[in-house]
Amino acid sequence: MKCPYCSFMESKVVDSRATEEGSSIRRRRECIGCGRRFTTYERLDEIPLMVVKKDGRREAFSRDKIITGVLKASQKRPISYEVIENLAREIERELRNQMEREISSQVIGEMIMERLRHIDEVAYVRFASVYRQFKDIDRFMEELERLQRGETE
């Protein structure tokens, strides 16, 4: 590790500890050349995950987009932010474990809906109505009836 003060190429690790969220390691280093201390962070180099949209566009996966969508669907419902964060984290972990570089937005939407069904049925129907783009009341009623029967699409 190159010293930010004198550019000497060698340093020793004085202290290491995980960050609060556990996603990286904070290291205090001491330059062997000048003796000054500095901090570095080490984190896992993740495979970039790309989302393929319905129109074929590709964009980087964002856990925040899942959180935002679920927050909108669960507005004024008794669902804690922690539950929503856990849902998003669980989906991201499952997607990354598949080791696929590209995943369709439809797959992500279905994963969200499957989990929302078990958390809050009203939030599920709200999310499904936007995600599935119900064109009329009949399609909306079909989804409600399917939910009452305990079926999945």
Average pLDDT value for the chain? 89
User: For the chain, what is the domain count?
Assistant: 2
Write out the residue range of the structural domain in which residue 36 sits.
11-43
Same domain for 34 and 56: no
Question: Does pLDDT of 45 surpass 80?
Answer: no
pLDDT digits (tens, 9 = 90+) for 96-106: 888 889 999 99
**What is the model's pTM?**
0.64
Same domain for 116 and 78: yes
Question: Does pLDDT of 44 surpass 80?
Answer: no
More confident residue, 42 or 136: 42
Q: Are 72 and 125 in contact (CB under 8 A)?
A: no
pLDDT exceeding 90 applies to what percent of the chain?
63
Q: Is 2 a member of any domain?
A: no
Q: Is 4 a member of any domain?
A: no
Q: Which residues contact 86 (CB under 8 A, 6 or more apart)?
A: none
So what's the pLDDT on residue 86? Answer: 93
Q: Which residues contact 142 (CB under 8 A, 6 or more apart)?
A: none
So what's the pLDDT on residue 133? Answer: 72
Same domain for 37 and 98: no
Same domain for 54 and 38: no
